[in-house]
């Protein structure tokens, strides 16, 4: 064998051994990376993920539907990414100028890249309704206001400041109308508008109300009751004619005049009653413009709803225990009003007034089961009025003419005999009831400002309890020192009559 052949054989053997060792090391590294490290082999380097573009540094851009914005970029544009092309689209007209066009309401983002794949710019696009017309209309109607109209998805936010609550409501109504006209759903448009308008220096309104009611009642009763017997031979006729007063429901008095002739006795009942009731209430309330205020002066009376009865034992015939069920009803004078201060010091006022009192008419009588005890539930007579007007500060509104006139006239008597021309009144009763009621409500609103406590007076100013000698010897109930802030007049300045007055 030649020397060249031996050299080639050795080289081939070395290459085969090297290849086998490399394959073995690769198998060990794949099965056990730690063992491969111990053998002096290093693992492949870790690959880091790099975010090439995100909206963390994106600029917010608001567009209206079918509106566009032109963007100039600092480097040449190679690639454009639009997240949702159905909401907004990007059009590249030159290497450094692009147009972003709003298509429909929604949100998306747009990224621009250069030739090296680096982000040039990113934009967070919000496509909303075109609200420029609404904002322009509000500025024309309310020129002194500072109102901004912003859109978020399908919603609209009104922000800024106005002079009074009426202008805030007016701006809201304009937005509802115009937004509803655009969507053909005015009712749904109101749910998508957020009114965040702030009223500068909220006005306060004091409402002074005078409630006066006069009631006049007149009752006249005249009746004759006959009783006795008439006979002819063996035939005897007994009669007893008692005529009730059904119009008023009962006799005014138990007093009567009695008389008789032979076997016939007569009882004359006659009474006339007249009464006048005067009710007056003067509540005063203060509320912020646009807010509601409520006043109530009265009381509550118990109403018997019924009895709940239960037996104390399951034995038949066992005593039954009844417990009354009671609830309470309100009566009195109630006032509810909502003022809105308009421009020029005028006030739009919504007033609701309710006057109620207890009445014996249509009263209900309930008898306790198993006993003769009764309970009478009175009825409630209610008068209410509601109106919305626009009046100046200090002007008065009179809600009058609420007159109620009730007349009842009942005649009860013996049939046939009560129709006799002269003797007819002996066999009948005449009951006449007339009730007249008039309610008048005066309302006066004032635009008010805060006042210091020292400028106010209380009903007990100047009141002091009397001393023991003045209370025991003179019968004084209080001692007055004078009105606060005013000096007492000198004792020698009094002029006039003096002495005692005897009635």
- What pLDDT, on a 0 to 100 scale, did the predictor assign at position 28? 46
- Please identify every stretch of the chain with a pLDDT value under 70, giving residue numbers as ranges: 1-48, 50-53, 55, 180-190, 200-202, 230-231, 233, 237, 239, 247-250, 252-263, 311-315, 317-319, 343-344, 370, 401-402, 480-503
Burial of 198 (0-12, 13-18, 19+ CB in 10 A): exposed
The β-bridge relationship of strands 346-367 and 146-152 is: unpaired
User: What pLDDT, on a 0 to 100 scale, did the predictor assign at position 8?
Assistant: 42
Report the 10 Å Cβ neighbour count for 238. 10
Let me know how long the chain is.
503
Cβ-based neighbour number of residue 82 at 10 Å: 16
Task: Give the gyration radius of the chain's Cα atoms.
Answer: 49
Contact (CB, 8 A) for 322 and 308: yes
> Nearest CA to 155 among 181, 131, 133?
131
Q: Both tokens of residue 11?
A: 């080289």
pLDDT tens-digit map of 43-98: 556 666 766 667 677 888 888 888 889 999 898 988 998 999 999 999 988 888 99
What 3-state class would DSSP assign to 255?
A: coil
Q: What is the pLDDT of residue 503?
A: 47
Candidates 103, 171, 63; CA nearest to 179 is 171
Token digits of residue 184: 């053909």
Q: Output the pLDDT for position 100.
A: 92
Q: What integer pLDDT is reported at residue 207 of this predicted model?
A: 83
CA-CA distance, 24 to 216, in Å (whole number)? Answer: 123
Sheet containing 59-64, strands listed edge to edge, beginning at the edge strand earlier in sequence: 59-64, 119-128, 106-113, 79-82
- Report pTM: 0.46
């Amino acid at each position: 064998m030649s020397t060249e052949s031996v050299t080639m054989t050795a080289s081939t053997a070395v290459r085969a051994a090297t290849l086998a060792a490399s394959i073995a090391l690769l198998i060990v590294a794949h099965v056990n990376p730690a063992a491969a490290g111990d053998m002096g082999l290093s693992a492949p380097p870790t690959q880091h993920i790099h975010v090439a573009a995100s909206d963390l540094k994106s600029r917010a851009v608001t567009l209206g539907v079918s509106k566009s914005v032109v963007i100039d970029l600092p480097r040449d544009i190679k690639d454009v990414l639009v997240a949702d092309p159905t909401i907004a689209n990007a059009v590249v007209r030159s290497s450094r100028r692009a147009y972003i066009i709003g298509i429909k309401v929604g949100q998306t983002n747009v990224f621009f890249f250069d030739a090296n794949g680096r982000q040039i710019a990113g934009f967070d696009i919000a496509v909303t309704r075109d609200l420029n017309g609404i904002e322009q209309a509000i500025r024309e109607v309310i020129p002194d206001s500072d109102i901004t109209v912003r859109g978020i998805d399908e919603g609209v936010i009104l922000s800024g400041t106005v002079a009074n609550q009426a202008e805030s409501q007016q701006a809201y109504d304009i937005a509802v109308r115009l937004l509803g006209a655009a969507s053909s759903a005015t009712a749904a448009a109101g749910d998508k508008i957020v009114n965040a308008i702030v009223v500068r220096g909220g006005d306060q309104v004091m409402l002074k109300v005078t409630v006066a009611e006069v009631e006049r009642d007149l009752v006249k009763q005249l009746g004759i009751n006959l009783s006795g017997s008439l006979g002819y031979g063996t035939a005897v006729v007994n009669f007893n004619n008692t005529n009730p007063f059904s119009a008023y429901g009962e006799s005014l008095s138990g007093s009567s005049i009695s008389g008789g002739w032979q076997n016939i006795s007569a009882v004359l009942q006659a009474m006339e009653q007249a009464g006048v009731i005067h009710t007056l209430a003067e509540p005063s309330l203060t509320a912020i413009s646009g807010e509601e205020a409520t006043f109530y002066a009265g009381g509550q009376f118990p109403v018997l709803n019924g009895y709940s009865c239960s037996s104390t034992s399951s034995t038949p015939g066992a005593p039954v225990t009844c417990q009354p069920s009671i609830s309470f009803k309100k009566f009195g004078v109630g006032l509810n009003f909502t003022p809105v201060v308009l421009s020029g010091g005028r006030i739009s006022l919504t007033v609701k007034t309710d006057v109620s009192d207890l009445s014996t008419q249509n009263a209900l009588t309930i008898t306790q089961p198993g006993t003769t005890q009764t309970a009478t539930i009175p009825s409630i007579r209610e008068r209410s009025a509601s109106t919305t007007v626009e009046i100046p500060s200090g002007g008065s509104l009179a809600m009058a003419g609420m007159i109620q006139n009730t007349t009842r006239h009942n005649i009860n008597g013996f049939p046939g005999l009560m129709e006799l021309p002269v003797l007819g009144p002996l066999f009948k009763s005449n009951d006449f009831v007339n009730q007249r009621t008039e309610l008048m409500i005066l309302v006066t609103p004032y635009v008010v400002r805060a006042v210091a406590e020292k400028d106010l007076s209380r009903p007990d100013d100047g009141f002091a309890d009397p001393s023991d000698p003045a209370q025991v010897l003179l019968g004084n109930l209080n001692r007055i020192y004078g009105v606060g802030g005013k000096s007492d007049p000198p004792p020698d300045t009094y002029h006039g009559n003096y002495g005692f007055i005897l009635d």
